[in-house]
Amino acid sequence: MKIIYAIVSSDDGTRVTDVLTENHFSVTRLATTGGFLKKGNATLMIGTEAEKVDQAIQLIKDTCGKRQRITCNVPTPNIASISAGYMMTPVTVELGGATIFVTDVERFEKI
């Protein structure tokens, strides 16, 4: 048996927990904080058989892998904005990503 620790962004935490659960993985989700940015993230603990580790990692990758999104939510002040308020400029931002550890489980019991 193995345990997977997957650190994902808080935004992806609910979605990836749902996807893993729908695919019959047992998941414990912890609200965690990154040591560097001091920003909230989510750590998933997934105990599973060794032969299912790759499937779990693929589901995590499909759901939370690094991706780019164009957003118009960044207000950019410019000359026009003085009279017309803030203009919304499309920008590309990178979202997601996961840090994954897989370790052996020495003993597993449910009592």
The contact set with ligand 2BA (CB under 6 A) reads 7, 34-37, 39, 41, 97, 99
CB of 2 to ligand 2BA, least distance (A): 18
43, 97, 93: which is closest to 65 by C-alpha? 97
Residue with Cβ nearer ligand 2BA (34 or 75): 34
Tokens, residue 108: 């597993």
CB of 44 to ligand 2BA, least distance (A): 12
Residue with Cβ nearer ligand 2BA (5 or 55): 5
CB of 15 to ligand 2BA, least distance (A): 17
Q: How far is CA 54 from CA 29, 43, 49, 50, 84, in A?
A: 19, 18, 10, 8, 52
Residue with Cβ nearer ligand 2BA (47 or 65): 65
Rounded to whole angstroms, how far apart are CA atoms 45 and 33?
15
Instruction: Estimate the crossing angle of helix 10-22 against helix 53-64, to 10 degrees.
Output: 140
Residue with Cβ nearer ligand 2BA (32 or 55): 32
